[in-house]
Amino acid sequence: MEEKKVKELEIDFKDIDDMLNLKSENVVYKLKINGLEKKDVEWKDNIFWSNLAYTLEHIYIKKGFMFDLSETILPRDLKDISGIFGNCESLVKGPVFPEGVKNMAETFRGCENLIEAPVIPNSVINMNETFAGCTSLIEAPVLPEGVLYMRGTFSRCKKLKEILNIPQWVENMSGTFAGCTSLIEAPVLPQGVENMSWAFEECKSLVEAPVIPESVVDMWRTFYGCEKLNTAEKFQDTFKKISNTKIPVLDISKQIVLWMNDDEKKKLDNMFKKMDVLSEKDLEQVLFGWKEDFKKELKKDMKQEKKIEKDVRGR
């Protein structure tokens, strides 16, 4: 989004339609909206928005104003804010959410001009598709440790380059970062995650796979379309990162091959031929060897981490 002039305005929600009397401008209004009630910001089935979002979009359509709500504090008694700003083209920054909010599913889904995520309350549990399709979002917020659900949370966030953390209790990461074409480095994954289908699909800038936890049982298309990752040269490293799971080694190999293009598949075939891999049994032996090597590498890393932690505590 192009940089726009910012104007500040404090206004009561009951008077917000007065903005329709202002001169049309290509500006961002940084609003401090007072007098908001729970009924103003909850999802309404009849308008597919909250009253707040519906009003802002109406003003945007009529006057061209965009909105920064970072000075607007939502009511304290909110628990469910799912979908309340979904597909709001006018929103560039979200409001301040109160502690106590639990459900943020699809809260900003499709907000293509959202450039900055708000602080996520520690009480939040559900973040399914919270920022899905926020194509202008560059930086992810810190995620509270209580979050359990992250299906499609940042999917199609094309400008997102870095993820700070994934909460430790998340089990479903299906499509979490699918279509994040600028994501260069994957975050450390929680040890209990089970579903990683489509998790990093089409992450075209991703150069290295994260270590996949032992708990993972579904990796369908996990790294499909990751052009810089799915190469013959990186096959061994990627295999090792995935071999930590209970998925059979030959199934892992088949998955990785499915993610590769035809040129890289040919290179991989030549690589294995040079290693005298002539049958599926030969391949299985090689893969088991790599898996055992990686187990040793992980144990060595864990010992090193414990030593560093002990040294730090002793200072």
Cβ neighbours of residue 45 closer than 8 Å, sequence gap 6 or more: none
Q: Which pLDDT tens digits describe the chain residue by residue (315 residues)?
A: 567 899 999 999 999 999 999 999 999 999 999 999 999 999 887 767 899 999 999 999 999 999 999 999 999 999 999 999 999 999 999 999 999 999 999 999 999 999 999 999 999 999 999 999 999 999 999 999 999 999 999 999 999 998 989 999 999 999 999 999 999 999 999 999 999 999 999 999 999 999 999 999 999 999 999 999 999 999 999 999 999 998 999 999 999 999 999 999 999 999 999 999 999 999 999 999 999 999 998 887 665 555 444 444 455
Q: What is the reported pLDDT for 46?
A: 72
Q: What is the reported pLDDT for 300?
A: 74
- 3-class secondary structure, 15: helix
Distance CA 128, CA 144 (A): 14
Q: What is the reported pLDDT for 314?
A: 55
Q: What is the reported pLDDT for 215?
A: 96
Q: What is the reported pLDDT for 305?
A: 52
For helices 280-313 and 235-242, the axis angle rounded to 10 degrees is 70
Q: What is the reported pLDDT for 303?
A: 57
Q: What share of the chain is helix, strand, coil (3-state, %, to 5)?
A: 30, 10, 60
Number of Cβ within 10 Å of residue 170's Cβ equals 23
Residue 196 near residue 174, CB atoms below 8 Å: yes
What's at 69, amino acid-wise? L
Distance CA 290, CA 314 (A): 36
Q: Provide the CA 237 distance to its chain's centre, in angstroms.
A: 24
Q: What is the reported pLDDT for 3?
A: 77
Q: What is the reported pLDDT for 312?
A: 41
The DSSP symbol for 67 reads E
pTM for the model stands at: 0.92
